[in-house]
Amino acid sequence: MGGFDYLRLIAAILVVAHHARVLDGRPPAMIGTSLDLGALGVGVFFAISGYLVAGSLARTPSLATFLAKRALRIFPGLLAALLVTAFVIGPVSTMLKASDYLSAPEVYGYVLRNLTLYAVTYDLPGVFMSVPLAGVVNGSLWTLRLEFTAYLALGALGALRQATPKVLTVLALAAAAGSIAIHALGLDAHSDLFRMAYLAGTNGFLFLSGAALKASDWRAPSWLTIATALLLNTPLWFLGLPLIVLRLGMIEAPKIPADLSYGLYIYSFPLQQMLAQHGRLDLVTSLAVALPCAALSWFLVEKPALRLKARLTQAPPRYALSPAAAAGD
Residue boundaries of the structural domains of the chain: 3-327
Predicted confidence band of residue 216 (pLDDT cuts 50, 70, 90):
very high
Query: Quick check: 316 pLDDT over 60?
Result: no
Residue 310 pLDDT more than 90?
A: no
**pLDDT at residue number 231:** 93
Give the residue among 143, 290, 116, 94 at the shortest CA–CA distance from 107.
Answer: 94
CA distance 84 to 142: 18
Confidence of residue 318 (pLDDT cuts 50, 70, 90): low
Cα separations (Å) of 298 from 73, 95, 112? 11, 31, 22
**Which DSSP symbol is given to 116?**
T
CB 155 within 8 A of CB 63: yes
The distance from CA 137 to its chain's CA centroid, rounded to whole angstroms, is 17
Contact 207, 43 (CB under 8 A): no
Average pLDDT over the chain reads 92
Q: Does 105 or 317 have the greater pLDDT score?
A: 105
Q: CA torsion 253→258→261→266, rounded to 10°?
A: 180
Residue 115 confidence (pLDDT) above 80: yes
* pLDDT for the residue 55: 93
**DSSP 3-state of 290:** helix
The total of other beta-carbon atoms located within 10 Å of residue 267's CB is 28
| pLDDT over 70 percentage in the chain | 95
Mean per-residue pLDDT, 85-110:
97
Name the nearest CA neighbour of 88 among 110, 70, 71, 68.
Answer: 110
Residue 24 in this model has a pLDDT that exceeds 90: yes
Looking at residue 322, what is its pLDDT? Answer: 44
What value does the mean pLDDT take over residues 139-151?
96
Under 8 Å between Cβ of 209 and 172 = yes
| Model confidence pLDDT, tens digit, residues 273-296 | 999 999 999 999 999 999 999 999
Between residues 128 and 188, the one the model is more confident about: 128
Q: With b meaning 16 or more CB within 10 Å and e meaning fewer, what string describes 34-52?
A: ebbbbbbbbbbbbbbbbbb
Taking only the tens place, the pLDDT of each residue in 243-278 is 999 999 998 888 889 999 999 999 999 999 999 999
pLDDT at 323: 40
Cα–Cα distance, 225 to 218 (Å, whole number): 12
Q: Could you read off the pLDDT of 238-251 as tens digits, one per residue?
A: 999 999 999 999 98
pLDDT over 90 (residue 134)? yes
Report the C-alpha gap between 321 and 211 in whole angstroms.
Answer: 10
pLDDT band of residue 326 (cuts 50, 70, 90) is very low
Percent of the residues in the chain that have a pLDDT greater than 90, as a whole number:
81
CA gap 298, 305 in Å, rounded: 9
- pLDDT, residue 219, reads 86
